[in-house]
Amino acid sequence: MARAAVGTGTREPERPLMSAISDALAIDHFTCAKGSSVERPFLEAVAYGLGFDGSRREFRSKGLLLAAIIETTTGRWPEETDLDGGTVTNEALRAILDGIVANDLARVSLTDGPAAVRVTAALFEEDGDPAVFDPLELSDERKRSLRMVVVRGEQASFRNHVLAAYEGRCAVTGCDVPEALEAAHIRPYSGLRSSAVANGLLLRADVHRLWDKGLMAVHDSIRVVLLSPSLQGTEYEREISGRKIRLPSDPALWPAKAALAQQRAWAGL
């Protein structure tokens, strides 16, 4: 539950980036002041989560504290921080979260669990690209529709982008016959945003069918193929069980971990 920061007046919900930072550092959540203003108590809690004292005794102004947090997480003193007013912009919060992730400063796992999902969702949302996939947008879709085979106008475009990202080879088997390859949605189709490459895998057609039926998944952390017990003793167990998937050369196009985790949970693997 989010804490109200010190002060009175109308409170507003925390920003998504604040929530992600709080989860990553295992600290309390804080609401914002009117106008979504981030207040000092949140920054002091962030400093504590990073292992240093953010009190007024150490930092006379909110701006100095913000700059120290950015320096701690990114390794550089911010040039444009308002040291007097200490205005906390989304750019500053994004820099802090990026630094926590890049420099392994989180106090919880960012590969598995709710914090990982929160961080992934916040970063996708902040990117602001309408074609970027937010795995949480699809979380309420009914289970029976999770693995629907869909035909939409942009399916061809989606396939072409996924085909290019995986350089024409099945992510699981390595098959390089274009006619045998299909672009599989990790989370089910739900409009343009779900057709981002990060929500796709290039799979051989028969492997795609296993995926659609929930008979296989990909571990979201170590990215190896998991198969249903019903496939034990079959050629699929011999061919692909435990195999590490191929990834696009561009890390920005790698399958979203939060999406893989949700699909794996749906498949019960």
Query: What would the pLDDT profile of 221-241 be if each residue is shown by its tens digit?
Result: 899 999 999 999 999 999 999
Q: Do residue 122 and residue 231 come from a single domain?
A: no
Q: Do residue 169 and residue 257 come from a single domain?
A: yes
Q: Do residue 118 and residue 32 come from a single domain?
A: yes
- pLDDT of 125: 60
- Taking residue 175's Cβ as centre, other Cβ atoms within 10 Å add up to 18
Q: Do residue 141 and residue 241 come from a single domain?
A: yes
- pLDDT of 82: 57
Q: Do residue 48 and residue 99 come from a single domain?
A: yes
The residue ranking higher by pLDDT, 112 or 50, is 50
- pLDDT of 112: 61
Q: With 60 as the cut, is the pLDDT of residue 70 above it?
A: yes
CB burial of 239-255 (b: ≥16 within 10 Å; e: otherwise) equals ebeebebbebeeeebbb
pLDDT digits (tens, 9 = 90+) for 241-268: 999 999 999 888 899 888 888 888 888 8
Q: With 60 as the cut, is the pLDDT of residue 154 above it?
A: no
Q: Do residue 19 and residue 92 come from a single domain?
A: yes
The confidence band for 202, taking pLDDT boundaries of 50, 70 and 90, is very high
Q: Do residue 140 and residue 263 come from a single domain?
A: yes
Distance, CA of 133 to CA of 196 (rounded, Å):
6
Looking at the structure of the chain, the number of domains it has is 2
- pLDDT of 187: 76
How far is it between the farthest Cα atoms of the chain? 68
- pLDDT of 266: 84
Which has the minimum average pLDDT: 23-27, 107-111, 133-137, 234-238? Answer: 133-137
- pLDDT of 36: 84
The pTM of the full predicted model, rounded to 2 decimals, is 0.50
Q: Do residue 171 and residue 103 come from a single domain?
A: no
Rounded to a whole number of angstroms, the CA Rg of the chain reads: 22
The residue ranking higher by pLDDT, 191 or 145, is 191
For residue 17 the two structure tokens come to 């980036």
For residue 213, the enclosing domain spans: 135-267
- pLDDT of 138: 44
Which has the minimum average pLDDT: 152-161, 170-179, 217-226, 232-241? Answer: 152-161
